Amino acid sequence: MKKILGVTCMLLLLVVAGCGEKTYKPRDIVAETDVCKICNMSIVHGDYAGEIVLKNGDYEIFDDLGCLIDYVKKNGDKEIGAAFIKDEKNKKWINVFKGSYVYSKDFWTPMNYGVLAFDSEKAAKDWIASEGQGKLLTYEDLLDFKWGIHE
């Protein structure tokens, strides 16, 4: 009886652990083989790369924030576990949905979309101040943003 109780408790613990919120982590970019899901460009500028981790564990890689947003607009976010982009200042992965963004046609990115990512609004504003140019954007703004070269 005690054995059955013990095994049942163990099983219940496992089930509870499995039901907990899943954690999604970005992976390292592999320059030799990774290509952008949208435009097929090889990822050679890792500092601007983006990643989407799907709920099934698959990774979709992007060479530019614009391509990542293009994917979200085309496929929706139902199957997305997490989305990451490199922060412009410290080059670390940040959550796309919670990031702050700065656009200028003079900012270079691999697809020349000109949008840089920051982990906080303060960091984005500081960047605008230091560069003397740039427009502050939120994630929601990116969904309506007109991506492409701007004269």
Partner 1 sequence: MRKWLFAFCFVFLWVPKSYAAEDIQQLIDNAKPGETITIPTGEYTGHFVIDKPLTLKGDGVFKADGQEPVLTIHQTRNVRIEGFTIVTNATAMEIKDAKNVSIENLHLEKVNAGVKVYNSTAIQAKDITITGREGHYSQKGNGLAFFKSHSIEVSHVKINNVQDGIYLEGVKNITLKNNDVTNGRYGVHFMYSEEGVAQSNHLEKNVTGFMVMMAKDVTLSENVLAKQRGLNSYGVVLYDVQRLRLKKNVLAENRTAISIQNSKSVTIVNNQFAMNETAVEAMQSDHSNVVAKNTFTGNILTARSDVNGVRLEGNYYDDYTGLDADDNGIGDTSYVALSSFGQWMVREPAYQYFVEAPAVTLLSTVDQQINRSSQGVLSDYSPLMVSAHMQSATTVNKGMAVGQLLLGLLFVFIGGFFWKRGIRS
Q: Binding residues for partner 1, per CB under 8 A?
A: 31-33, 35, 39-44, 111-112, 148-149
CB of 65 to partner 1, least distance (A): 16
- The answer to whether 86 and 117 are in contact (CB under 8 A) is yes
| For partner 1, the closer CB: 32 or 140 | 32
CB of 67 to partner 1, least distance (A): 10
CB of 62 to partner 1, least distance (A): 14
| For partner 1, the closer CB: 43 or 68 | 43
C-alpha to C-alpha distances, 114 to 27, 104, 106, 135, nearest whole angstrom = 24, 5, 7, 10
- Taking the C-alpha atoms of residue 18 and residue 77, their distance in angstroms, rounded to an integer, is 22
Radius of gyration of the chain (CA): 19
- Taking the C-alpha atoms of residue 15 and residue 90, their distance in angstroms, rounded to an integer, is 39
| For partner 1, the closer CB: 72 or 128 | 72
CB of 38 to partner 1, least distance (A): 9
| For partner 1, the closer CB: 45 or 89 | 45
Closest among 7, 60, 10 to 37, alpha carbons compared = 60
